[in-house]
Structure 1
Amino acid sequence: MHLVAKHPEPDITSGDAGRVALTFFFSLMEHWGCTKDQQCTLLGSIGNTTYFKYKKLPNVRLPHDTLERISYLMGVHKALRILFSNQPERAYEWVHKPNTAAPFNGQSALSYMLAGQVVDLADVRRYLDGVRG
């Protein structure tokens, strides 16, 4: 009889998970060329004090809403990296380009996400997952 070692589920509420999520977020924001205000909106309209605390990449237990937002942004990033696998720079430019497809109706994906609701990030991820097939 073989015993299979059970790996504990990762604790996404741990301070270490928060630091990893923020590291990803700020790296992506640099690639996308987002302003501080845009970053604050994407993180859930956080205040300046919280923003500058997060920029130090502390071990911090992030609120569920913030983790959910970063998770959707990870999904958007992953889908774009797959769609533009031969041209990574286009994956970063895509969020800035006007898009006539629903749900964007002529605005860029970034403008759409900057409406500030979690569902706006989810919509962009869902759209890209649909394009990816």
Structure 2
Amino acid sequence: METIMPASALSSAQPTPAGPQRLDPKRFDTASRRRLSAPGLRAFLVISDLWGLTEAQRRLALGLPSRSTYHHWAKAVREHRDITLDVDVLLRISAVLGVHQALGVLFAGEHDQVAWLRGPHQALVFGGRPPLDLITSGTQDGILTVRRFLDAARGGFYMAPNSIDQGFRLYQDGDIVFS
């Protein structure tokens, strides 16, 4: 026999005996999205500058808003005005922020981070293409694939070597110095 729960219980983040956790719908309300939109887009623009993305690549990463919409958003956040982005755009921005953070953990310098993004990669998921091609493919799945790959690499899963790794030499016992 199935138990019927009141609607208020469904919005909690507690697991139900019959299924997965449910998200609180308030996370997606207009006020929450407005609070996150301007700072998120400002961070996206800074990362896009660092990565050297063209306007077309930026728009593709954001889900292909029209040029006028993109420029309206960018102008508004540069002037520190509020904007409210939809959930899809916020998810894409979040994924780009996650890619940027993971690259910062995995690579010491910004040059190496950008080189990894722009260079061809032999991992199966990239098929010899640069990871940036997936980020700017226009699909959420492309950005999230790169994010998941880097999160796995950060977590210690094997990341196939790339040209940037050519000179890497494993540490030997003699390399370890005890003081």
The answer as to whether partners of 1:13 and 1:62 remain within 8 angstroms in 2 is yes
Q: Secondary structure at the match of 2:33?
A: coil
Q: Which amino acid is 2:41 matched to?
A: L
Runs of 5+ unmatched residues, structure 2: 1-26, 156-179
Q: Report the counterpart of residue 92 of structure 2 in structure 1.
A: 69
Q: Corresponding residue for 2:32?
A: 12
Shift of residue 62, structure 1, vs aligned partner: 0.6
Q: Secondary structure at the match of 2:102?
A: helix
Q: Residue 107 of structure 1 is aligned with which of 120, 123, 129?
A: 129
Separation (CA, whole Å) in 2 of partners of 1:12 and 1:67: 11
Matching of residue 47 in structure 1 with residue 66 in structure 2: yes
> Cα deviation per residue 1:73-123 (whole Å; 9 max; x = unaligned)?
011001000001x22321133211110102100100111222211011111
Paired residue type of 1:83: L
Equivalent residue, structure 1, for 2:49: 30
* 1:26 CA displacement: 0.4
Aligned length: 122
Larger relative contact order, structure 1 or 2 (CA cutoff 8 Å, min sep 6): 1
Correspondence for 2:120: 98
* Residues 90 and 12 of structure 1, relative CA distance in 2, 3 Å threshold: farther
Bigger CA radius of gyration: 2
Please tell me whether the aligned partners of residues 32 and 93 of structure 1 are also in contact (alpha carbons under 8 angstroms): no
Q: For 1:41 and 1:111, locate their aligned partners in 2 and report how far apart those are by CA, in whole Å.
A: 10
TM-score by length of 2: 0.65
CA contact under 8 A between 1:42 and 1:113: conserved in structure 2?
yes
Q: Which runs of 5+ in 1 are unaligned?
A: 1-8
2:82 aligned residue:
59
* Letter of the 1:37 counterpart: A
C-alpha RMSD of matched pairs (Å): 1.4
**Other structure's SS at 1:12 match:** helix
Structure 1 stretches of 4+ with a deviation exceeding 6 A read none
